[in-house]
Amino acid sequence: MIRSTLAAFVLLGALGISAKAEVIGQPNSERPTLKSEAIVNGDIVRIGDLIENAGIVASVPIFRAPDLGHTGTISADAVLEAIRGHALIGVATDGIRDVVVTRASRSIPVKDVEDVIANALSARFDLGPTKEISVNFTHDTRAIYVEPSSVGTPRVTHIEFDARSGRFDATLELSAGTAKRTVLRLFGRAVATVEIATVTRAIERGGIIKDSDVQMERRPRAEIGRDLVTKREQVNGFAARSSLQPGRPLRLAELIKPDLVQRSDTVTLIYEVPGIVLTIRGKAAEGGAEGDVISVLNEQTKRSVQGTIVGPGRVLVINGSPRVASNNTPRGTTDAATR
């Protein structure tokens, strides 16, 4: 009896040695081998995702996958511990200490999702044109990640909006193959905006505002008064009535037409009567912008006249006709100052 028991132990020992020898002698192409990187589909990591040649246990789940669009690492020791009870013998690690696991996904630009939500808010809550609605998500989001099988553009299936706080709660769906769908739930804030003008640099009083000085920005409509500049053409070529600071919304009351004539400037006086246009040199008694009425000294007659500024250094006399040195004034345009 003792001898037969001893023989049985010897037999089991021989079988164990044989099995171990079989693993050691197994070709590298068939030997279970730890991967250094893995890309997984779905929210579960399986043995076959991490172990090459995992055989019949390849589909056994062992870890939770990273979130969509994210990457994580698992230590080699944690992997070996997780597969310990699943009949994988002699897994080769080849010196790998960590496995990098990436969740497969498809990214949708945030701008596309913002537009979809803005369109729904515009249609259902009368917030104005879609392009004037600013959408911001609760968490800083640079891209929306969905399953690789999801196709098309997301559509809003449900949305709630609080007009007082501007907060929204939206549910979006994408098709993910036959009878499947991807559901997204997003939170954030939306406000109706209007485009306003600001300056990009400090401008002193009287400074001329150039096109390169103007920057258009969107601001919440509720914060905008009626006097704000909303178009570039309302600014270009105007002067600052007072000093302007960059980033601050421009108001129409802060803009004036630039002076085209300065006090004591030499100007051209223009007299117009039916069939005749006369130009005479004058000296401005005061400055002004286009359309302003100023006094000008007619240097030929030495009398002051009233005229309207019509261009740089040009003043159109309102009434009357000049006194000229000769009665033989030719018809057409004459510069009396040069005679």
End-to-end Cα distance, the chain: 148
Cβ proximity of 224 and 248 under 8 Å: no
Choose between 295 and 14: higher pLDDT. Answer: 295
Residue-wise pLDDT tens digits, 321-332: 555 444 444 444
The predicted model gives 38-56 an average pLDDT of 94
Residue-wise pLDDT tens digits, 258-284: 888 889 899 999 998 888 888 899 999
CA dist 17 and 6 (Å) reads 17
Residues comprising the chain, all counted:
339
Could you tell me the domains of the chain? Answer: 31-104 (2.60.480), 108-193 (no CATH), 194-256 (3.90.1210.10), 260-338 (2.30.30.760)
- DSSP annotation of 226 reads T
Query: Which pair of tokens denotes residue 136?
Result: 């911001």
The predicted model gives 38-52 an average pLDDT of 94
- What's the distance, CA 304 to chain centroid? 59
Confidence of residue 16 (pLDDT cuts 50, 70, 90): very low
- Does pLDDT of 14 surpass 80? no
- Closest by Cα among 138, 162, 143, 164 to 154: 143
pTM over 0.75: no
Vertex 81: Cα angle to 76 and 86 (nearest 5): 120
Residue-wise pLDDT tens digits, 206-258: 888 888 899 999 888 887 777 889 888 888 878 898 899 998 899 999 998 88
Distances (CA, A) of 67 to 36, 61, 145, 316: 19, 16, 9, 75
